[in-house]
């Protein structure tokens, strides 16, 4: 009986917080003025990153409480797709899953002057809107690299790894596409861009790479000298964290550098879709863009920056993203990845 | 308003506008249909290509069917419109991958070429392409169906923009047609209006055949009108002939009666009888005059269509007339004074003679005894004949009133007259392109003035 009560308590606790999907963190921001409506946001972005933006929004819109729930991208997708949770805004860096939610009809239309002013590549229909563009980069410890030149392209990188396998063995990091949604997205987009990805995978496979599920872990390990370089790291995280460290550098490969779009959508199940839309508009407003850049440390949507850097390839928000979510396609890709990695 | 009396122009314009409206509506629906079909064909083409590309990526094997979705198949769907995409791959009733609730084709005999169908799916309507491909699984052929669906928002957006444009085109063509129909109506009705004008402008005496250039369609009208005019002219001319004949036939016996009465007057001794005979003679004289005037008038009417064109010596004619009236004037102790320049005009002698006769006759008739009638002929831009008397004047009536047929001065009821005299003068003047006027004369009496153009 006692065990049952504890179990029930645990279930209630988990249920009250998450209701099925796994929540990493849930923070309630009380309203600036009189308590009124509550805006609920489900996001993959850490609370600390978004806190300045949330507080500025509340200052501009007194009376709105915000509950900010953080989960990983798979859980965010499941919360909406499988469980039909009632959130007013869903923010995720997993473009493919966001695209699938929008395509499968889970997103409500949002029409505003700011959302319609977004360039075509940064939105899909009136359902899915990007508010940050983040480059997927290579990070390198220059000190560990020694006399070697910094690689500027994937071809340079492959040659570098082949030239000095002793230096790199066990000291290369990248995402594990089987365990990380972001890693899977980056790897499959790499495959779309160039065949050199498979050659890179084969070379990596010979060097016993360390496989991660988050950019932050890779950045940490590089800073602590456990890695010489890490491939496919989110530049928006690496840039600020490596800024005070002259030994570690962020490299945007010149053959191409993927650009991830962090997107938001208002689910059909939203209790207050107008609040979700208002927060989205705030993210796209000049004030919001400035906060995203300066306080959140994320690059806001900027077509001119893309145009100025021809090596940047924003991932396209179109149904093509659905292809790699297909079970057959995923299995085929992961099989190929395994076999490339394990080839001697 | 009576339907038959509606303006031709209005009728024509309304009917042309009606036709233009119908054509504009037909145009609108034609453009829409064609555009809708084109948009659907475009979507079908891309859907079909995507379906075939996926079906070509199907692979058999010992452990089942394998699918390698080509990235481009979906990416291309995204490139024609931002529409939602669904897919489903089945063997029999088993869904291998994709959306298991995507509807299968209504007829299950989907072939190697894609079949297309439109179905409601989830919260919207989708266009679906389905194709069947046979794959060897464990050396047995297994039919695999590939279905790719796309929502129709892009197509509807195209249809909507096309509909708007089609509406604009329809409206534009209607406005253009309206302008053209106004122009056409004016153009078509022009000849009718010109003919109506030409007929309307004719004077009351103008009985010439209508010789206006008209379109073929109006010829029967013109022919009928000319026939009518010819009959009218014939009737008029018969009437005038009849009057002339009648006057002639009356004059001759009147002359006999007058001759007999004069003889009887001379032979009679009874003053009473003589008085009666004098009255008879006066009456006969008046009747004879009236008959003469009727004859003159008939002559004028009959000849004014086809005037003789000869040199007429007015001085001589006036002298002759003055001489002819001398006996009558003597009876009233009138003096006829002539002041004549030699003037020759071009015209019809008989008509001019009749006019002069009636002028002088009028003057002699209305002059009181022992006065003077002055005949003047001079040249003053035209040939001007003036006959002035000291009669009772016009009594305030103008030329136009007095020259009406059978109209007589209101102050002339005690003098016998037909009222035709001045009418004859006026008609002769008009027939020659001249003018006739009567004015009161200073010191009493009237001055009748006949102006004829010089030769």
Q: What is the CATH number of the domain that holds A187?
A: 3.40.190.10
Instruction: Identify whether the C-beta of residue A275 lies closer than 8 Å to the C-beta of residue A64.
Output: yes
Nearest Cα residue to A48 out of A245, A241, A223: A241
Confidence check: pLDDT of B1 > 70:
no
Residue A70 lies in a domain: yes
Number of domains observed in the structure of chain A: 2
Judge if A152 and A278 occupy the same domain.
no
What is the Cβ-side half-sphere exposure of residue A160, based on CA atoms within 13 angstroms? 19
Instruction: Identify whether the C-beta of residue A271 lies closer than 8 Å to the C-beta of residue A40.
Output: yes
A327 interfacial to chain B (CB closer than 8 Å):
yes
Judge if A19 and A123 occupy the same domain.
yes
Round to whole Å and give the CA distance between B117 and B299. Answer: 97
Q: Which residues contact B379 (CB under 8 A, 6 or more apart)?
A: B341, B343, B454
Judge if A214 and A336 occupy the same domain.
yes
Confidence check: pLDDT of A9 > 50:
no
* A8 confidence band (pLDDT: 50, 70, 90): very low
Judge if A7 and A122 occupy the same domain.
yes
Place of tokens 């933006």: A53
Confidence check: pLDDT of A256 > 80:
yes
Q: Are the Cβ atoms of A323 and B71 closer than 8 angstroms? A: yes
Confidence (pLDDT) at A11: 40
Confidence check: pLDDT of A221 > 90:
yes
Round to whole Å and give the CA distance between A119 and A129. Answer: 10
Tell how far CA A152 is from the center of its chain: 24
Q: Are the Cβ atoms of B74 and A192 closer than 8 angstroms? A: no
Q: Which residues pair with A137 in a beta bridge?
A: A233
A119 interfacial to chain B (CB closer than 8 Å):
no
Confidence check: pLDDT of B262 > 60:
yes
**SS3 per residue for A204-222:** HHCCCCEEECCHHHHHHHH
Residue A320 lies in a domain: no
- Distance (Å) from the alpha carbon of A102 to chain B's nearest alpha carbon: 8
Instruction: Identify whether the C-beta of residue A140 lies closer than 8 Å to the C-beta of residue A229.
Output: yes
Round to whole Å and give the CA distance between B376 and B356. Answer: 12
- Distance (Å) from the alpha carbon of A324 to chain B's nearest alpha carbon: 8
- Count contacts between A and B (CB, < 8 Å): 59
Fold held by B7-160: Beta-Lactamase (3.30.450)
Supply angle C-alpha A108, B32, B36, rounded to 5: 55
DSSP character at residue A88: S
Confidence check: pLDDT of B441 > 90:
no
Residue of A55 and B208 predicted with greater confidence: A55
B122 interfacial to chain A (CB closer than 8 Å):
yes
Q: Which two tokens stand for residue A252?
A: 């945007």
- CB nearest B66 (choices: A105, A318, A328): A328
Confidence (pLDDT) at A85: 92
- Distance (Å) from the alpha carbon of A261 to chain B's nearest alpha carbon: 17
pLDDT in tens, A292-331: 999 988 999 999 989 999 999 999 998 899 999 999 999 9
Confidence check: pLDDT of A344 > 60:
no
Instruction: Identify whether the C-beta of residue B422 lies closer than 8 Å to the C-beta of residue B355.
Output: no
* B110 confidence band (pLDDT: 50, 70, 90): low
* B405 confidence band (pLDDT: 50, 70, 90): low
For B391, the 3-state DSSP assignment is coil
Buried-exposed string A40-68: b where 16+ CB fall within 10 A, e elsewhere: bbbbbbebebbeebbebbbeebeebbbeb
Residue of B106 and A8 predicted with greater confidence: B106
pLDDT in tens, B294-327: 888 877 877 776 677 888 888 898 998 888 888 8
- Distance (Å) from the alpha carbon of A103 to chain B's nearest alpha carbon: 5
Round to whole Å and give the CA distance between B269 and B117. Answer: 135
Q: Which residues contact A329 (CB under 8 A, 6 or more apart)?
A: A323, B67, B68, B69
A326 interfacial to chain B (CB closer than 8 Å):
yes
Q: Are the Cβ atoms of A329 and B72 closer than 8 angstroms? A: no
DSSP character at residue A92: E
B57 interfacial to chain A (CB closer than 8 Å):
no
Average pLDDT value for chain B: 85
Judge if A129 and A267 occupy the same domain.
yes
Q: Are the Cβ atoms of A332 and B68 closer than 8 angstroms? A: yes
Confidence check: pLDDT of A3 > 50:
no
Q: Where are the beta strands (DSSP E) in B328-434?
A: 335-340, 344-347, 372-379, 383-388
pLDDT in tens, B156-196: 888 888 889 989 988 998 999 889 988 988 888 888 888 88
DSSP character at residue B138: T
pLDDT in tens, B6-56: 788 888 888 889 998 999 999 899 988 998 898 889 899 999 999 999 999
Instruction: Identify whether the C-beta of residue A276 lies closer than 8 Å to the C-beta of residue A88.
Output: yes
For A242, the 3-state DSSP assignment is helix
Judge if A292 and A330 occupy the same domain.
no
Confidence (pLDDT) at A6: 39
Highest-pLDDT range among A263-277, B99-113, B227-241, B291-305: A263-277
Contacts of A102 in chain B (CB under 8 A): 84
CB atoms inside a 10 Å sphere around CB B69: 25
- CB nearest B97 (choices: A316, A319, A327): A327
ipTM of the complex: 0.84
Q: Which domain holds residue A26?
A: 2-133+260-315
Q: What is the DSSP string of A280-312?
A: HHHHHSHHHHHHHHHTS--PBP-HHHHHH-TTE
Round to whole Å and give the CA distance between B298 and B292. Answer: 10
* A13 confidence band (pLDDT: 50, 70, 90): very low
For A64, the 3-state DSSP assignment is coil
Judge if A188 and A298 occupy the same domain.
no
Fold held by B308-455: Heat Shock Protein 90 (3.30.565)
B97 interfacial to chain A (CB closer than 8 Å):
yes
For A179, the 3-state DSSP assignment is coil
Confidence check: pLDDT of A48 > 60:
yes
User: Which of A101, A320, A324 has the highest number of chain B CBs within 10 A, making it the mutation to test binding with B?
Assistant: A320
Q: Which of residues 146-205 of B touch A (CB under 8 A)?
A: 153
Phi, psi of A42 (to 5 degrees): -110, 130
Instruction: Identify whether the C-beta of residue B147 lies closer than 8 Å to the C-beta of residue B100.
Output: no
B101 interfacial to chain A (CB closer than 8 Å):
no
A195 interfacial to chain B (CB closer than 8 Å):
no
Q: Are the Cβ atoms of B75 and A105 closer than 8 angstroms? A: no
Confidence check: pLDDT of A2 > 60:
no
Nearest Cα residue to B35 out of B152, B150, B173, B165: B165
Q: Which of residues 127-156 of B touch A (CB under 8 A)?
A: 153
Round to whole Å and give the CA distance between A259 and A261. Answer: 7
Highest-pLDDT range among A97-111, B98-112, B429-443: A97-111
Confidence check: pLDDT of B414 > 80:
no
Residue A17 lies in a domain: yes
Judge if A19 and A102 occupy the same domain.
yes
Instruction: Identify whether the C-beta of residue B417 lies closer than 8 Å to the C-beta of residue B402.
Output: no
Judge if A140 and A253 occupy the same domain.
yes
Average confidence (pLDDT) over A276-280: 96
Q: Which of residues 71-90 of B touch A (CB under 8 A)?
A: 71-75, 77-79, 82, 84-86
B70 interfacial to chain A (CB closer than 8 Å):
yes
Average confidence (pLDDT) over A233-246: 88
Confidence (pLDDT) at A1: 40
Nearest Cα residue to B344 out of B319, B370, B313, B323: B313
Give 3-state DSSP helix, strand, coil % of chain A, rounded to 5. Answer: 45, 20, 35
- CB nearest A328 (choices: B84, B86, B97): B97
Q: Are the Cβ atoms of B78 and A104 closer than 8 angstroms? A: no
Confidence (pLDDT) at A18: 46
Confidence (pLDDT) at B411: 64
Judge if A117 and A155 occupy the same domain.
no
Q: What percent of chain A has pLDDT over 90?
A: 79
Judge if A18 and A83 occupy the same domain.
yes
Phi, psi of B425 (to 5 degrees): -60, -45
Judge if A199 and A336 occupy the same domain.
yes
Contacts of A322 in chain B (CB under 8 A): 74, 85
Phi, psi of A267 (to 5 degrees): -70, 155
Residue A301 lies in a domain: yes
Q: Which two tokens stand for residue B174?
A: 């209607």
Round to whole Å and give the CA distance between B282 and B135. Answer: 139
* A334 confidence band (pLDDT: 50, 70, 90): very high
The pairing of strands A89-92 and A257-265 is antiparallel
Q: Which residues pair with B373 in a beta bridge?
A: B336
Helix-helix angle B421-431:B349-366, to 10 degrees: 150
Maximum pairwise Cα distance, chain B:
168
């Amino acid at each position: 009986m006692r065990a049952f009560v504890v179990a029930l308590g645990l279930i209630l606790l988990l249920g009250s917080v998450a209701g099925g999907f796994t929540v990493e963190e849930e923070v309630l921001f009380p309203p600036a003025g009189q308590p009124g409506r509550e805006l609920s946001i489900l996001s993959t972005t850490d609370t600390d990153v978004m806190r300045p933006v949330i507080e500025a929004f509340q200052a501009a819109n007194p009376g709105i409480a915000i509950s900010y729930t953080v989960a990983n991208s798979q859980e965010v997708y499941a919360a909406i797709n499988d469980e039909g949770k009632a959130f007013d805004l869903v923010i995720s860096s997993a473009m493919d899953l966001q695209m699938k939610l929008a395509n499968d009809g889970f997103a409500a239309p949002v029409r505003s002057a700011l959302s319609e002013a977004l360039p075509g590549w940064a939105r899909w229909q009136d359902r899915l809107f990007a508010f940050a563009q983040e480059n997927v980069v290579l990070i390198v410890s220059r000190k560990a690299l020694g006399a070697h030149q910094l690689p500027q392209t994937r071809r340079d990188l492959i040659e570098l790894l082949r030239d000095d396998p002793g230096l790199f063995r066990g000291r290369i990091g990248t995402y594990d596409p089987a365990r990380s949604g972001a890693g899977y997205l980056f790897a499959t987009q790499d495959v779309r861009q160039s065949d050199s990805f498979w050659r890179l995978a084969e070379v990596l496979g010979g060097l016993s790479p360390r496989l991660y599920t988050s950019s932050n872990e890779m950045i940490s390990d590089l800073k602590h000298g456990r890695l010489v370089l890490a491939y496919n790291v989110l530049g928006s995280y690496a840039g600020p964290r490596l800024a005070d460290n002259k030994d570690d550098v962020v490299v945007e490969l010149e053959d191409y550098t993927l650009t991830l779009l962090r997107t938001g959508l208002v689910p059909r199940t939203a209790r207050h879709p107008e609040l979700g839309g208002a927060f989205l508009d705030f993210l796209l407003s000049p004030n919001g863009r400035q906060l995203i850049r300066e306080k959140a440390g994320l690059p806001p949507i900027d077509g001119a920056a893309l145009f100025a850097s021809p090596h940047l390839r924003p991932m396209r928000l179109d149904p093509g993203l659905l292809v790699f979510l297909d079970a057959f396609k995923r299995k085929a890709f992961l099989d190929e990845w395994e076999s490339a990695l394990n080839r001697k | 308003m009576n339907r038959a009396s509606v303006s031709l122009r209005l009728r024509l314009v309304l009917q042309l506008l009606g036709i233009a409206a119908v054509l504009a509506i037909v145009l609108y629906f034609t453009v829409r249909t064609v555009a809708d079909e084109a948009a659907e064909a475009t979507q079908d083409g891309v859907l079909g290509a995507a379906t075939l590309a996926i079906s070509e990526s199907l692979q058999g094997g010992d452990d089942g069917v394998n699918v390698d979705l080509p990235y481009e198949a979906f990416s291309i769907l995204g490139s024609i419109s931002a529409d939602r995409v669904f897919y489903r791959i089945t063997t029999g009733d088993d869904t291998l991958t994709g959306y298991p609730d995507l509807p299968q084709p209504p007829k299950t005999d989907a072939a190697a070429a894609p079949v297309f169908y439109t179905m409601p799916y989830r919260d919207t309507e989708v266009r679906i392409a389905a194709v069947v491909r046979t794959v060897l699984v464990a050396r047995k052929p297994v039919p695999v169906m590939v279905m790719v669906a796309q929502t129709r928002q892009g197509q509807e957006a195209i249809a909507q923009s096309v509909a708007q444009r089609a509406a604009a085109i329809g409206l534009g063509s209607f406005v253009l047609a309206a302008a053209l129909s106004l122009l056409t109506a004016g153009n078509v009705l022009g000849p009718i209006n010109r003919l109506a004008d030409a007929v309307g402008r004719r004077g009351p005496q103008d009985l010439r055949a209508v010789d206006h250039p008209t379109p073929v369609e109006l010829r029967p009208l013109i022919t009928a009108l000319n026939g009518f005019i010819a009959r009218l002219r014939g009737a008029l001319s018969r009437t005038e002939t009849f009057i002339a004949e009648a006057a002639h036939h009356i004059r001759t016996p009147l002359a006999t009666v007058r001759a007999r009465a004069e003889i009887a007057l001379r032979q009679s001794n009874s003053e009473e009888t003589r008085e009666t005979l004098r009255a008879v003679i006066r009456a006969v004289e008046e009747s004879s005059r009236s008959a003469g005037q009727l004859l003159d008038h008939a002559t004028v009417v009959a000849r004014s269509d086809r005037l003789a064109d000869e040199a007429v010596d007015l001085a001589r004619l006036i002298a002759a007339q003055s001489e002819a009236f001398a006996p009558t004037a003597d009876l009233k102790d009138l003096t006829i004074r002539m002041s004549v320049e030699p003037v020759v005009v071009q015209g019809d002698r008989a008509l001019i003679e009749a006019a002069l006769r009636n002028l002088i006759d009028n003057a002699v008739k209305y002059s009181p005894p022992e006065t003077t009638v002055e005949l003047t002929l001079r040249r003053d831009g035209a040939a001007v004949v003036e006959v002035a008397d000291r009669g009772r004047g016009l009594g305030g009536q103008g030329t136009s009133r007095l020259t009406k047929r059978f109209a007589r001065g209101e102050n002339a009821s005690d003098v016998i007259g037909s009222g035709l005299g001045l009418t004859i003068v006026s008609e002769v003047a008009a027939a020659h392109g001249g003018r006739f006027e009567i004015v009161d004369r200073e010191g009493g009496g009237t001055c009748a003035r006949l102006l004829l153009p010089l030769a």
